[in-house]
């Protein structure tokens, strides 16, 4: 088991460039299956979830290799259409391979995906969208057997702007005959990356970033090179960490236009934030103010992935903040761990009230999931004394060399194997 040992209380100060987006890169690796030829994905973060996607591609018979942050994939030799359970369970994003494998091979077999434990995470919207495009899907216990002799473009209305469903629908629609219109589509920046990549390989996609996306299917695809956007959640986590420590941090490759809901909340907390094209700088106030009510919503609302780090920051605000988690049923796994550090948080269902205390105190804690781990790092950096955070493997699914990045900013963080 790997852990972080953090001695808190040091102000973060300095300049960083943030990794490429995890949730942006993963669907592109699935989309590589639509091409017989090489695609190169630049700014692809070095994370265990990305390694899992590369392992799935290799299992399917594709060539996949990395040189630094550039990943080259050639799916010409794809020779399997199933994904074994051991790969499916490693991450949630394995489910976007369903649309891509169906599009490429006309059949797919897999089990239910894994991923962070955030309450029930069904895939009914995904399956309904694929069925509407012409797939026949049978579920045998945990196993899914899918066939699509021919996929047909159609109008799809999503019951909720689900990110993964929008991605799966876009991927399957790429091989469908005719045009597919996805209504009530997710508008997250990661959808823009997938649309940009599909356009680059020869599949016309219009409307990404709005609630209606049109995909023209059945076009001939070709190799391409595509650069993934900066990870808005990683960038936001470093800003929260800087705010918790009372420091000044600049991000030299930020996409502030993707982070408006977070910067709005951080400004409410008293942070001074300078935004320019591709740049952000945060200077923390001497005392953090409470943010009032924060409700998580689909983009452009406040991101559920940024709820845990902001909650950690609010633990030492001068007053009470209220969180309402609307996206996942059980995304307060960090709360119990924050309480071990002295946080005063009450919760009932989707609601959590955080009463700021003067200071958190270091303690041994466990990262229960990826973003909950980010909350614990944020809290530990601002806390008095030493915090040991175990189960860092969760964090390493989404943050590239987080300890190195934080040390560059002056934090006292050690990563060690136990
Ligand atoms: N939902 C259903 N049925 C479905 C699909 C979704 O009920 O078929 C529900 C989910 O249970 C959840 C809500 O709809 O309550 C939203 O789910 P969505 O499909 O939008 O999320 P996702 O695609 O599973 C992605 C990110 C998450 C991020 C959410 C919301 C990836 C790999 N994951 O998940 O990221 O929180 O969108 O923005 O892109 C993370 O990076 O830590 C993470 C969890």
Is residue 377 within 8 Å of 337, Cβ to Cβ? no
Task: Answer yes or no: is pLDDT of 133 > 70.
Answer: yes
Q: Whose CA is nearest to atom 19 of ligand 1?
A: 162
Six token digits for residue 170: 């876009």
| Cα 93 to Cα 5: distance, rounded to the nearest angstrom | 30
> In whole angstroms, how far apart are CA 85 and each of 40, 82, 144?
27, 10, 11
What is the average pLDDT score of the chain? Answer: 96
pLDDT of residue 191: 98
**Span 7-66, pLDDT tens digits:** 999 999 999 999 999 999 999 999 999 999 999 999 999 999 999 999 999 999 999 999
DSSP code of residue 156: E
Report residue 93's pLDDT band, with 50, 70 and 90 as the boundaries. Answer: confident
CATH code, 22-227: 3.65.10.10
Residue 201: phi and psi, rounded to 5, are -90, 0
Query: What are the beta bridge partners of residue 13?
Result: 248
Query: What's the pLDDT score for residue 90?
Result: 87
Asked whether the beta carbons of 1 and 414 are under 8 A apart, the reply is no
By alpha-carbon position, which residue is closest to atom 37 of ligand 1? Answer: 163
Q: Rounded to the nearest whole angstrom, what is the distance from the C-alpha of residue 283 to the centroid of ligand 1?
A: 32
Mean pLDDT of the 111-132 span: 86
The pLDDT confidence band at residue 118, using thresholds 50, 70 and 90, is confident
Residue labelled with tokens 């986590």: 237
Nearest CA, atom 43, ligand 1: 305
Which residues pair with residue 389 across a beta bridge? 4, 365
pLDDT exceeds 90 at position 122:
no
Per DSSP bridges, beta strands 179-183 and 155-157 are parallel
Q: Which residues pair with 384 in a beta bridge?
A: 361
Q: Ligand 1: distance of its center to the CA of 353 in Å?
A: 24
Determine how β-strand 248-251 pairs with β-strand 279-283.
Answer: antiparallel
Cβ pair 392, 370 in contact under 8 A: no
Q: Using one digit for the tens of pLDDT, what is the confidence trace for 275-300?
A: 999 999 999 999 999 999 999 999 99
Residue 232 CA to its chain's centroid (Å): 9
pLDDT band at 112 (very low <50, low <70, confident <90, very high): confident
Catalytic site residue from 44, 52, 62, 116: 116
Q: CA angle 37-41-43, nearest 5°? A: 170
As annotated, the residues of the chain forming the CATH 3.65.10.10 domain(s) are 2-19+230-417, 22-227
> Does the structure show a pLDDT above 70 at 116?
no
pLDDT-derived band at 115, boundaries 50, 70, 90: low
Look up 107 and say whether it is catalytic: no
Query: Residue 92: what pLDDT?
Result: 82
Distance CA 181, CA 169 (A): 10
Q: 224 with 75: CB under 8 angstroms?
A: no
Residue 48: burial class (beta carbons within 10 Å; 0-12, 13-18, 19+): middle
Identify the residues whose C-beta falls under 6 Å from ligand 1: 23, 26, 92-93, 116, 120-126, 160, 162-165, 188, 304-305, 327-328, 370-371, 398
Cα(279) to centroid of ligand 1, in Å? 28
Q: Probe ligand 1: pick from 20, 21, 23, max atoms within 8 Å of CB? A: 23
State pTM to two decimals. Answer: 0.97
Give, as one character, the DSSP assignment of residue 10: P
Does the pLDDT at position 210 exceed 80?
A: yes
What pLDDT score was predicted for residue 102? 97
Q: Are 298 and 327 in contact (CB under 8 A)?
A: yes
- In the reported structure, the alpha carbon of residue 122 is separated from the centroid of ligand 1 by a whole-number distance in angstroms of 9
285: DSSP letter: -
State the average pLDDT over residues 342-371. 97
Give the number of C-alpha atoms closer than 13 A to the C-alpha of residue 92, restricted to the C-beta side. 21
Q: Are 96 and 30 in contact (CB under 8 A)?
A: yes
Two tokens, residue 8: 């808190």
Convert the pLDDT of each residue in 151-187 to its tens digit: 999 999 999 999 999 999 999 999 999 999 999 999 9
Quote the CA–CA distance of 233 and 203 in Å, as a whole number: 28
Bridge partners of residue 73, in order along the sequence: 39, 64
Alpha carbon of 304 to ligand 1 centroid (Å) = 9
Cα distance between residue 173 and residue 171, in whole Å? 5
Q: What is the CATH number of domain 2-19+230-417?
A: 3.65.10.10
Ligand 1 atom closest to Cα of residue 91? 32
């Amino acid at each position: 088991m790997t852990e972080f040992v953090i001695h808190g209380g040091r102000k973060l100060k300095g300049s960083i460039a943030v990794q490429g987006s995890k949730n942006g890169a993963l669907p592109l690796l699935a989309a590589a299956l639509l091409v017989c030829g090489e695609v190169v994905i630049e700014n692809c973060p070095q994370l265990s979830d990305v390694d899992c996607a590369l392992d799935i591609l290799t299992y399917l018979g594709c060539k996949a290799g990395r040189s630094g942050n550039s990943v080259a994939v050639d799916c010409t030799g794809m020779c399997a259409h199933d994904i074994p359970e051991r790969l499916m369970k490693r991450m949630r994003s394995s489910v976007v391979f369903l649309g891509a494998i169906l599009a490429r091979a006309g059949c797919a077999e897999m089990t239910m995906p894994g991923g962070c434990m955030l309450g029930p995470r069904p895939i009914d919207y995904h399956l309904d969208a694929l069925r509407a495009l012409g797939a026949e899907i049978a579920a045998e216990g945990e196993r899914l057997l899918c066939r699509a002799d021919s996929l047909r473009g159609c109008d799809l209305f999503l019951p909720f702007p689900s990110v993964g469903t929008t991605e799966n629908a876009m991927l399957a629609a790429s091989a469908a005959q005719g045009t597919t219109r996805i209504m009530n589509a997710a508008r997250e920046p990661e959808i823009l990356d997938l649309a940009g990549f599909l356009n680059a390989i020869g599949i016309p996609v219009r409307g990404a970033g709005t609630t209606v996306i049109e995909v023209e299917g059945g076009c001939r695809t070709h190799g391409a090179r595509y650069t993934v956007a900066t990870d808005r959640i990683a960038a936001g986590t470093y800003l929260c960490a800087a705010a918790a420590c009372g420091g000044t941090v600049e991000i030299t490759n930020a996409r502030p236009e993707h982070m408006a809901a977070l910067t709005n909340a951080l400004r409410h907390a008293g942070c001074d934030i300078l935004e320019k094209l591709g740049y952000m700088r945060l200077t923390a106030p001497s005392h953090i103010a409470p943010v009032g009510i924060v409700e998580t919503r689909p983009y452009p609302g406040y991101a559920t992935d940024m709820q845990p780090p902001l909650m950690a920051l609010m633990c030492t605000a001068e007053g009470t903040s209220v969180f309402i988690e609307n996206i996942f049923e059980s995304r307060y796994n960090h709360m119990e761990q924050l309480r071990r550090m002295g946080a005063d948080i009450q919760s009932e269902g989707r609601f959590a009230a955080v009463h700021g205390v003067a200071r958190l105190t270091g303690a041994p804690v466990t990262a229960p999931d990826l973003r909950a781990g980010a909350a614990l790092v944020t809290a530990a950096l601002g806390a008095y004394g030493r915090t040991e955070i175990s189960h860092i493997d969760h964090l390493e699914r989404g943050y590239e060399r987080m300890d190195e990045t934080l040390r560059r900013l002056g934090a006292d963080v050690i990563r060690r194997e136990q």
